[in-house]
Amino acid sequence: MATLELEDKVMTLREAVKIVANGAHISLGGFTTQRHPMAFVHEMIRQRKRNLHAYGHSPGGDWDMLIGAGCVRRVELAYEADEAFARVGPRFKYAVERGLIEWDDYSNFGMVQRFAAGAMGIPFIPTRTMLGSNMLKKDGFSPELRKSDQKIASRKFVVMDCPFTADKIVLLPAIQPDVTIIHAQIVDAQGTVRIYGQNFGDEQQAKAAKKLIVTCEKIVQPKKLREFPEQNCIPFFRVDAIVKVPYGAHPYACYRYYDYDPEFLRLYHEQARDDASFKEFLDEYIYGVIDWEEYLEKIGGDKKLRMLKADKKLGYAPKLKRR
Amino acid sequence: MKKEYSKDYALMELMAVAAAREIKDREIVFAGTGLPMLGAMLAQHTNAPNCIIVFEAGAVDCKLAHLPMSVGDPRTMRFASTATGLLDVFSTVLQRGFIDVGFLGAAQVDMYGNINSTCIGDYYHSKVRFPGSGGSGDIACLSKRTIIIAVHEKRRFPEQCDYTTSPGWIDGPQGRKQAGLPWGGPSAVITTLGVLRFDEQTKRAYLASYHPGVTPEQVRENTGFELDVSRARGTEPPTEAEIRVLREKVDPEGVFLKKAEE
């Protein structure tokens, strides 16, 4: 695997999405309003993936669309919303209230530690968080479900006395998703990844995964990223597929490249509120377009993308109309 | 200098000012989207110029020029000291004991300051689903103290939350210790009607102040548990200077504040 070259890893979105099998355990990078692999999510919906088991800390519309489109069977999460744009993901909310998916709740810190344990190759990780919370009282998954699938942790958590200090400590089970998909600013032709701005949980999610797909704004020659290796966060041999998708996180932000799209986020949340208009959203923006380029035209083309373009110094669009 | 109180302000502005006044200079603050960010930024311009704002998504001590709409907003990157991710901030800043004050939103708050942001009804058959903990459960467990912000309605202030996402004093003075939490606990609840604090002996919420135009009796009527109002006085209104900073420096785009006026 370590010798794979450019032509082996760089592929189209359609090819990369085929790596995700129905029923796969997946995680997606980004955090609420930034750097979700949205182009990949759209293609997963177009390919009608089913029965996915998703792990996340604070996803946003990436999960909301997948859940609404019927791709997801089970989630382990801390939060699902677009913060100031939506206090809860509307499709996630309805799916839980109608019992269309199975769910289990942890905290953000809890979930990111579970990815970290998976990335480090250890079976669990000790923490002090969530003590006194119902997250450590209610298990969203039945004992039968936990027994039925080896990939699901056999227990949600264990609380024990620390063997060294006798403090109360929580042990959380590791996560190693079948596939993690992240959206990065730059990847080199071998697969080395550079992320600008906050990393969120991307590094842990990526390194915990059995397979890693990276969509990106730009592909460059390795010597360019290797000049400053301390700025890179994932070594090339961990990356299985690279897809170049400029504006691939829209309507979410990608630091130093573009801002989030308030107008489109409002449109999404308006349409996702009820079943009929959400279906119209899917038909118009996902099923009704062939690829990401056509989608970008549909959301306003060059004119819209120029409005979202990040200021070089600030990394976002300071003049963007946000309300 | 004599304080000039503002005569023209929105409820959201009053609450942001109340939030800012909870922050002491040089404290390290964990701020979420909306009112906590407004409060923390205002504090940096007024009573706590050297407070440090930390965002759970990764940015530490940024110098905000534009109000973020998310804790993962690229706006939180501006001039930050460091920008890493959730694992680093939660483990080496929060769990290591460096957060003095954390702000928390809530769908429900009970008499011990426990918070629900997960669901209404039974967890396994939720009637209404909210976003979930996010960092709230972590901040509630591991900040040195927390400030809760909530809409004050009877159904949102029950005797006991349907689900405890973020532990407050749990069930009284021994609650946190028995749960194994090393420190922390809520110190105030800033609501749309007033400010609640917690009795030192019992850790039960009592009314500390009621907002201008509100009576203690109204607050009691809108609270689902028995609320002691005997210690209550009027909330100090915002000053002209505080309102000016909020409108001109903190949120000139009107991202959150104009919404409140409409």
Query: Is B4 noted as a catalytic residue in this protein?
Result: no
Given an 8 Å threshold on Cβ–Cβ distance, is B253 in contact with A323? yes
- Average confidence (pLDDT) over A242-271: 98
Q: Which of A73-77, A272-276, B256-260 has the lowest mean pLDDT?
A: B256-260
| Tokens standing for residue A214 | 């990276």
At residue A1, the pLDDT reads 46
Nearest CA in chain A to B79: A314
Closest residue by Cα to residue B98 from B187, B180, B29: B29
Measure B196 CA to nearest chain A CA, in Å.
22
A90 prior amide bond cis, ω within 30: no
Provide the Cα torsion A260, B106, B140, A163; round to 10°: -100
Q: Is the pLDDT of residue A143 over 80?
A: yes
* Average pLDDT in chain A: 96
Contacts of B257 (CB under 8 A, 6+ apart): B10, B12, B13, B16, B38, B246, B247, B251
Residues of B in contact with A88 (CB under 8 A): 129-131
* Residue A136 binned pLDDT confidence (cut-offs 50, 70, 90): very high
Chains A and B: how many Cβ contacts under 8 Å?
A: 221
Residues of A in contact with B91 (CB under 8 A): 109, 113
Closest residue by Cα to residue B29 from B57, B58, B61: B61
Pick the CATH number of B11-257 from 3.40.1080.10, 3.30.420.40, 3.40.50.1240, 3.40.50.300: 3.40.1080.10
* Residue B180 binned pLDDT confidence (cut-offs 50, 70, 90): very high
Collapsing DSSP states into helix, strand and coil, what is residue B89? helix
- Which run of H or E residues covers position B141? helix B136-142
Given an 8 Å threshold on Cβ–Cβ distance, is A204 in contact with B141? no
At residue B202, the pLDDT reads 98
pLDDT digits (tens, 9 = 90+) for B204-245: 999 999 999 999 999 999 999 999 999 999 999 999 999 999
Given an 8 Å threshold on Cβ–Cβ distance, is A133 in contact with B166? yes
The whole model's pTM is what? 0.97
Given an 8 Å threshold on Cβ–Cβ distance, is B65 in contact with A318? yes
d(CA A44, CA A48): 6
Measure A112 CA to nearest chain B CA, in Å.
6
- Average confidence (pLDDT) over A201-208: 98
| Tokens standing for residue B212 | 């201008």
At residue B215, the pLDDT reads 98
For A111, A151, B2, B179, B262, the CA distances from A147, given in Å and listed in that order, are: 21, 10, 69, 29, 53
Smallest Cβ–Cβ distance between B142 and the set A129, A168, A203 belongs to A129
Residue of B4, B56, B153, B200 marked catalytic: B56
At residue B258, the pLDDT reads 77
* Residue B3 binned pLDDT confidence (cut-offs 50, 70, 90): confident
Residues of B in contact with A113 (CB under 8 A): 87, 90-91
Domain residue extents for chain B = 11-257
For A274, A277, A300, the CA distances from A263, given in Å and listed in that order, are: 19, 17, 11
Q: Is the pLDDT of residue B262 over 50?
A: no
Closest residue by Cα to residue A132 from B30, B161, B52: B161
Answer whether B129's CB lies under 8 Å from B171's CB.
no
Given an 8 Å threshold on Cβ–Cβ distance, is B85 in contact with A199? yes
Given an 8 Å threshold on Cβ–Cβ distance, is A108 in contact with B135? yes
Q: Which of B56, B70, B116, B142 to mutate to test the interface with A (most CBs of A within 10 A)?
A: B70
- Average confidence (pLDDT) over A130-152: 97
DSSP class of residue B222? T
* DSSP assignment of A158-225: EEEE-TTT--EEEEEE----SEEEEEEEEEETT--EE--S--BTHHHHHHH-SEEEEEEEEEE-HHHH
Nearest CA in chain A to B107: A87
- Average confidence (pLDDT) over A40-65: 98
pLDDT digits (tens, 9 = 90+) for B15-54: 999 999 999 999 999 999 999 999 999 999 999 999 999 9
Closest residue by Cα to residue B196 from B184, B213, B214, B208: B208
Residues of A in contact with B124 (CB under 8 A): 138, 140
Measure B178 CA to nearest chain A CA, in Å.
9
Contacts of A213 (CB under 8 A, 6+ apart): A16, A19, A37, A40, A179, A180, A181, A182, A239, A240, A241, A242, A243
Collapsing DSSP states into helix, strand and coil, what is residue A227? coil
At residue A6, the pLDDT reads 54
Q: Is the pLDDT of residue B259 over 60?
A: no
pLDDT digits (tens, 9 = 90+) for A97-121: 999 999 999 999 999 999 999 999 9
At residue A323, the pLDDT reads 86
Measure A15 CA to nearest chain B CA, in Å.
30
* Average pLDDT in chain B: 96
At residue B1, the pLDDT reads 58
DSSP class of residue B246? I
